[in-house]
Structure 1
Amino acid sequence: MKKLMTIFLLTLLPLMAGFYPPTVHTRITAVDGSRVTLAKALPANGMSGVVLHNFGKGLQAITGILVQTEPGHATVRKGDLLDHPGLPTPKSVALPGDTVLGGYLYNNVLVLAPNAETYRKITRSGGRFFIHPDLYAAYLSREGDSTPDASNLAGFAREAQVGLVYIVQKGRAILFDPISGHIVASRAFQPVGSEARYPFYTRFSSVGGGFFGGGSKGDYYQSVGGIK
Structure 2
Amino acid sequence: MKHIFLVFIAVLQLFGATVKSPIIGLNEDLSEVSIKVDNIDVGVSGFVVHEIVKDKRSILANAVVKSFDPVSKIAKISVSEFNSLSSSALPNGKWSIKLGDEVVLAFGYTRGILIAPNEEIYHRITKNSSLQWVHPDLFATMLSFNGHPTPLRSDFLQMSIDNSVGLVFVFLQNKVYTIDAKSFKILAITDAALEQKEAKLPFYTRVQEINAAWWGEGSSRLKEYEPHYYELMIKANSDNKELYDIVKAGGKELQDLLEEFEIKG
TM-score (norm 1): 0.82
Amino acid at match of 2:10: G
Amino acid at match of 1:28: I
Judged with a 3 Å threshold, the aligned counterparts in structure 2 of structure 1 residues 148 and 41 are, in CA distance, closer, same or farther, namely farther
| Counterpart position of 1:109 | 112
| Counterpart position of 2:10 | 18
| Counterpart position of 1:202 | 205
Q: Aligned equivalents of 2:151 and 2:81: distance in 1?
A: 26
| Counterpart position of 1:55 | 52
Equivalent position SS for 1:54? strand
User: Aligned-pair distance for 1:50?
Assistant: 1.4
Structure 1 residue 89 and structure 2 residue 81: aligned? Answer: no
Equivalent position SS for 2:232? coil
Amino acid at match of 1:106: Y
**1:95-134 counterparts in 2 under 5 A?**
95-134=98-137
Q: Aligned equivalents of 1:202 and 1:73: distance in 2?
A: 38
User: Aligned-pair distance for 1:156?
Assistant: 2.2
Task: Report if aligned partners of 1:16, 1:125 keep a CA contact under 8 Å in 2.
Answer: no
Unaligned segments of structure 2, at least 5 residues: 69-74, 214-220, 234-265
**1:161-200 counterparts in 2 under 5 A?**
161-200=164-203
> What whole-Å deviation, never above 9, does each CA across 1:45-75 have from its counterpart, x for those lacking one?
0110111111113201222110111111011
| Counterpart position of 1:4 | none
More helix by share: 2
Q: Aligned equivalents of 1:150 and 1:202: distance in 2?
A: 18
Q: Aligned equivalents of 2:183 and 2:47: distance in 1?
A: 11
Q: Aligned equivalents of 2:222 and 2:67: distance in 1?
A: 41
Unaligned segments of structure 1, at least 5 residues: 1-7, 211-215
User: Aligned-pair distance for 1:167?
Assistant: 0.8
Amino acid at match of 1:168: F
Amino acid at match of 2:223: G
> What whole-Å deviation, never above 9, does each CA across 1:105-161 have from its counterpart, x for those lacking one?
111211111111211122223322111111111111111112223222112222222
Task: Report if aligned partners of 2:64, 2:78 keep a CA contact under 8 Å in 1.
Answer: yes
**1:152-167 counterparts in 2 under 5 A?**
152-167=155-170
| Counterpart position of 2:263 | none
TM-score (norm 2): 0.71
Equivalent position SS for 1:97? coil
| Counterpart position of 2:242 | none
From 126, 135, 139, the counterpart of 1:136: 139
User: Aligned-pair distance for 1:86?
Assistant: 5.7
Alignment coverage as a number of residue pairs? 214
C-alpha root-mean-square deviation of aligned residues, in Å?
Answer: 2.6
| Counterpart position of 2:40 | 43
Question: Taking every aligned residue pair, what percent have the same amino acid on both sides?
Answer: 25
| Counterpart position of 1:27 | 22
